[in-house]
């Protein structure tokens, strides 16, 4: 600190600032005084995400009414790789408050990135009277939300959030539209969300809908209650030919090209952060691909899937492979933990079903085209999937095991040859199950 320095009067540098709300790194602040006005410039970065950087310029003075005035000058914030400018036109934008910190008034402050605008303004008068306004114009979803694995969303947000309080009674509302809404590069239409709160901000009515050029494909109605220690939800979500292609990447490397149109209803109840789910969906024109086996299947029309808190139950669904037209049945469940940590428990059965259709690659343990008469299961977490087949090969099956010069076929762990004694034992086990007792020669 040096009041005689012509360049600056104060310079502060702090490596880390931890406040329990928003921790920052590399905090720097410089100050210069001009008459009765203190001018500041500060730079710092988010500790959680160091690419988020803040470069703020402001001043403090006292007006003729003895109120403190913080003037916000042209500044910038880098958030999720995008630079937002505050007060880009360097207008006279001020936050005014009294010395008792009871009355606050903020002029219209504009945040601008490219052609995206967020506007904030408001007044506070004591603890019982407030008027806050937050408006969005053509703001991209990616500008505000963090990336989510397997879920890429696009669209432009337009709308407003109003928080009004008069004599202690609140009247909060929000009305948003996401136009040209896309999930994983699949256009879904326009998404609309309206939320209205009660007077004490403990209960909110939620109304949402997704509609394309023809009809509504999704709508949700219900309430969110924040009065307890943990917020609770009670919302019914309805689907009407909702396009499942948008959710295909959720299958990761195990299931691909998930497709179809879902109709049904799912209820969300319980804790907001981890709700209970209950309902069912009917799938039209459904299908899926298993990349590891290079097989693609269509689901029978109007296949039913039961949805509960931590799993999707496929009941029993008829499958048809899209290349050769062979058929089988699919049963079992796909489990998850709050839509993460996916785990399969699926079973296939058929008297002739395509289960393998791969070519030779450097990492192949086996390859070829295989049709089975029997059963197959896929169990375990998606990153450590276990495939078990108990079946005989069908007509036109070609199964190949690549060997290098140092191996014989008996050395490869993919194939195990049975001895005569093992063959007899396996045969005895099968006939005992059938309660048949032949006479050995």
Domain ranges of the chain: 1-102, 114-201
What tokens were used for 306? 């039961």
pLDDT for the residue 441: 44
d(CA 348, CA 100): 72
pLDDT for the residue 403: 67
d(CA 193, CA 206): 7
Q: Identify which of 228-242, 247-261, 369-383 has the greatest average pLDDT.
A: 228-242
- Give first-to-last CA distance, the chain, whole Å: 106
pLDDT (average), residues 7-25: 86
**Digit-coded pLDDT (tens) for 145-188:** 877 766 788 999 999 999 999 988 888 999 999 999 998 888 99
What tokens were used for 361? 């690659």
**Is pLDDT at 412 greater than 60 in this prediction?**
no
Decide which of 112 and 92 is more confident. Answer: 112
**Is pLDDT at 428 greater than 90 in this prediction?**
no
**Is pLDDT at 75 greater than 90 in this prediction?**
yes
pLDDT for the residue 406: 46
Helix, strand or coil, per DSSP, at residue 337 = coil
| Closest residue by Cα to residue 21 from 52, 47, 43 | 47
Where does the pLDDT of residue 105 fall: very low under 50, low under 70, confident under 90, or very high at 90 and above?
very high
Where does the pLDDT of residue 419 fall: very low under 50, low under 70, confident under 90, or very high at 90 and above?
low
Would you give the DSSP letter of residue 409? G
| Strand partners for 407 | none
pLDDT (average), residues 213-219: 93
pLDDT for the residue 439: 46
In this structure, what is the dihedral angle of CA atoms 209, 212, 213, 215, given to the nearest 10 degrees? -60
As a whole-number percent, the residues of the chain with pLDDT over 90 amount to 57
In this structure, what is the dihedral angle of CA atoms 340, 308, 245, 219, given to the nearest 10 degrees? -110
pTM: 0.77
**Is pLDDT at 5 greater than 90 in this prediction?**
no
Where does the pLDDT of residue 83 fall: very low under 50, low under 70, confident under 90, or very high at 90 and above?
very high
Tokens 């114009």 found at: 137
Sorted by sequence, the CB contacts under 8 Å of residue 436 that are 6+ apart come out as none
Tokens 């295989």 found at: 370
pLDDT (average), residues 383-406: 78
d(CA 57, CA 70): 10
pLDDT (average), residues 386-393: 84
pLDDT for the residue 341: 78
**Per-residue CA distances from 256 to 82, 249, 289, 296 (Å):** 32, 7, 5, 9
d(CA 84, CA 86): 7
**Is pLDDT at 436 greater than 50 in this prediction?**
no
Helix, strand or coil, per DSSP, at residue 24 = strand
Question: At 62, which helix (H) or strand (E)?
Answer: strand 53-62
pLDDT for the residue 338: 75
Mean pLDDT over each residue of the chain, to the nearest integer: 87
pLDDT for the residue 85: 96
pLDDT (average), residues 404-417: 52
| Strand partners for 79 | 82
Helix, strand or coil, per DSSP, at residue 440 = coil
pLDDT for the residue 2: 58
CB neighbour class for 356 (10 Å; exposed up to 12, middle 13-18, buried from 19) = buried
DSSP 158-214: EEEEEEEEETTEE--EEEEEEEEEEETTEEEEEEEEEEEE-TTSSEEEEEEEEE-SS
Length of the chain, in residues: 441
pLDDT for the residue 253: 66
**Per-residue CA distances from 75 to 53, 90, 138 (Å):** 11, 9, 21
**Is pLDDT at 194 greater than 50 in this prediction?**
yes
pLDDT (average), residues 59-85: 94
What tokens were used for 419? 């001895």
**Is pLDDT at 318 greater than 90 in this prediction?**
yes
* Helix/strand/coil percentages in the chain, nearest 5: 5, 60, 30
**Is pLDDT at 27 greater than 60 in this prediction?**
yes
**Is pLDDT at 135 greater than 80 in this prediction?**
yes
Helices then strands, each counted (H, E), the chain: 2, 28
**Per-residue CA distances from 217 to 152, 166, 240, 270, 320 (Å):** 19, 38, 5, 25, 27
Would you give the DSSP letter of residue 436? -
| Closest residue by Cα to residue 141 from 182, 111, 109 | 182
**Is pLDDT at 210 greater than 90 in this prediction?**
yes
d(CA 111, CA 82): 12
Where does the pLDDT of residue 313 fall: very low under 50, low under 70, confident under 90, or very high at 90 and above?
very high
| Strand partners for 94 | 71
What tokens were used for 435? 């309660």
């Amino acid at each position: 600190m040096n009041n005689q320095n012509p360049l600056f009067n104060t310079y502060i540098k702090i490596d880390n600032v931890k406040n329990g709300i928003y921790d920052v790194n590399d905090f720097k602040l410089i100050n210069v005084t001009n008459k009765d006005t203190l001018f500041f410039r500060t730079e710092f970065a988010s500790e959680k995400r160091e690419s988020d950087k803040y470069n703020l310029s402001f001043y403090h003075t006292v007006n003729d009414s003895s109120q403190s005035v913080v003037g916000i000058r042209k500044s910038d914030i880098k958030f999720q790789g995008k630079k937002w400018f505050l007060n880009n036109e360097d207008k006279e934008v001020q936050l005014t408050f009294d010395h008792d910190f009871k009355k606050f008034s903020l002029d219209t402050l504009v945040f601008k990135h490219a052609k995206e605008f967020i506007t904030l303004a408001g007044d506070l008068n004591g603890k019982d009277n407030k008027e806050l306004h937050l408006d969005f114009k053509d703001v991209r979803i990616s500008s505000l939300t963090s990336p989510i694995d397997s879920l890429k969303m696009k669209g432009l947000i337009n709308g407003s959030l109003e928080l009004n309080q008069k004599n202690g009674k609140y009247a909060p509302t929000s009305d948003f539209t996401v136009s040209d809404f896309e999930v994983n590069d699949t256009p879904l239409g326009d998404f609309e969300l309206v939320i209205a709160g009660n007077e004490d901000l403990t209960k909110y009515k939620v109304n949402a809908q997704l509609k394309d050029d023809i009809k509504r494909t999704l709508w949700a109605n219900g309430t969110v209650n924040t009065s307890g220690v943990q917020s609770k939800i009670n919302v019914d979500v309805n689907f009407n030919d909702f396009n499942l292609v948008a959710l295909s990447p959720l299958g990761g490397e195990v299931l691909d090209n998930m497709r179809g149109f879902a109709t049904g209803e799912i209820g969300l109840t319980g804790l907001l952060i981890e709700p209970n789910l209950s309902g069912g969906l009917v799938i039209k024109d459904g299908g899926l691909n298993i990349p590891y086996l290079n097989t693609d299947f269509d689901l029978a029309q109007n296949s039913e899937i039961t949805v509960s808190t931590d799993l999707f139950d496929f009941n029993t669904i008829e499958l048809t492979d899209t290349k050769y037209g062979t058929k089988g049945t699919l049963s079992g469940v796909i489990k998850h933990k709050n839509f993460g940590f996916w785990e399969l428990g699926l079973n296939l059965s058929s008297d002739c079903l395509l289960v393998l259709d791969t070519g030779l690659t450097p990492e192949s343990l086996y390859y070829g085209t295989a049709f089975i008469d029997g059963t197959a299961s896929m169990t375990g977490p998606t990153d450590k999937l276990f495939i078990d087949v108990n079946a005989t090969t069908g007509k036109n099956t070609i199964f190949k095991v690549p060997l290098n010069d140092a191996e014989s076929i008996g050395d490869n762990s993919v194939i195990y040859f049975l001895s005569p004694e093992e063959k007899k034992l396996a045969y005895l086990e099968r006939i005992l199950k059938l309660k048949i007792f032949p006479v050995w020669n």
